[in-house]
Amino acid sequence: MKRAITLLGSLSLLLIIASAIFIVINRVPDRPVEALTARWAQPPSQFVEINGMKIHLRDEGPRNDPTPILLLHGTSSSLHTWNGWSKELNEQRRVIRFDMPGFGLTGPSPDNVYTIERYAQTVIAVLDQLNIERSVLAGNSLGGYVAWATALFYPERVEQLVLVDASGYPFKAESIPIGFRIANTPILNTLMEDVMPRSMVKSSLENVYGNPTLVTSELVDRYFDLMTRSGNRKALVERFRQTQPGQLADRVPELKQPTLILWGKLDRLIPPDNADRFHHDISGSTLVLFEDLGHVPQEEDPVSTVSALKRFLANSKSIALSPP
C-alpha cells in the first residue's frame, strides 16, 4: 500500500512538472493591437471610431454602388477570411468588411456585451458611419447569424441576404474545433487567456476545412496572431456564453429578403441539414451546396463560392429589371 501511494505521488509530481513545462513553452501573453497592425492592417485597412471601439475595416470598390456588399466573418476569424471574395468583387462592386467586436484587430467590446442584438446594432452603426442606406449582407458561421438577425431587426437596411454555413439554429456538431471546446470549458478557458499552442490553432483550422491540406503556415499565423490580440481570448469566452444558436430560430420564416444559402457538404461543425432548414424556412431562397468544402467555404475556395454569389446577384438584378 505504501509503495502504491509513493508511486501515485511520483506520477502526480511528474504530471505537475509536465503541465508546468507545457504552460511555459506555450505561454503567449496578450499582445497590443499596435504590435499586429504592421502585418495584418496593410492598406486598404483603416480604423473607424464606432461605439467606443476602433473598428478595423476595409472599404473597397466603386463608391457609386447603390447597394454595397457587407461581409461578416465567423467566430475567432477576421475580415481577412473574405480576401478572395473581395478580390473577385471589388472591381464592379463596393465591398466592405470589418473585424467584429471581440475578434481580429477590433478587439473586445468596451462594455463586454456580445449578444446577437448588439452585433446587429454594430452592423447598422458601420452602415451609418459609411452613409449606406441599404446593402447586400453576407456572413459566415456567426457572421451568418449576425447577418440574418440584422435583416430581421432592420429589414429596411438589407437588400439581399447571403448565408454561408450560417449559425442560428440549434445544431449537433459532428466535430468541434479544440479551441472552441476549451473556450467553453471552465478553468481551461481561463488558462487559455495566457496559453496558446500553435498546434491547437492549426488543429482547429484543419477541423473546419474540407481539405485540411489547404491549411497553410501563413493561415495559421493569421489566426494565431489575431487570437492573441489583447482581450480577444477573454471576449471569446463571453461570446460563447452570451450568444447561443436557437435564440431567434423560430423567427427565420419572417425573413423576406432574396436569400442565397451557400454550404460546404463537409461541414462537421454546423451540419448541412441546417442549410436545408434555412432553405425550407426562408421562402424563395436559393441553396447551393459544395461537395468538397467545409465550414468556411469562402476561405477554402473563394473562386467557386463567389461565382455562386455572382450568379445570384446577376439573377436578382435581371428579375428587378424585368417589366411587370
Query: Average of pLDDT values for 71-86?
Result: 98
pLDDT at 223 over 70: yes
**Residue 121 above 90 pLDDT?**
yes
pLDDT at residue 320 tops 50: no
Alpha carbon of residue 48 to chain centroid? 20
> Cβ(274)–Cβ(169) under 8 Å?
yes
* Confidence tier at 324 by pLDDT (50, 70, 90): very low
The three cell numbers of residue 222 are 493569421
Global pTM value: 0.90
Count CB neighbours of 145 within 10 A: 27
DSSP conformational letter for 222 = H
Please tell me whether residue 180 adopts helix, strand or coil conformation: helix
**Poorest-confidence range of 6-10, 29-33, 258-262?**
6-10
CB atoms within 10 A of CB 274: 22
Is residue 149 within 8 Å of residue 72, measured between CB atoms? no
Q: Are 58 and 106 contacting, i.e. CB atoms less than 8 angstroms apart? A: no
Beta strands in the chain (DSSP E): 46-50, 53-60, 69-72, 95-98, 135-140, 158-164, 259-264, 286-290
CA distances from 231 to 103, 192, 280 (A): 9, 12, 39
Q: With contact defined as beta carbons under 8 Å apart, do 84 and 299 qualify? A: yes
Select from 268, 241, 235, 103 the least CA-distant residue to 185.
241
Distance of alpha carbon 275 from alpha carbon 169, whole angstroms = 10
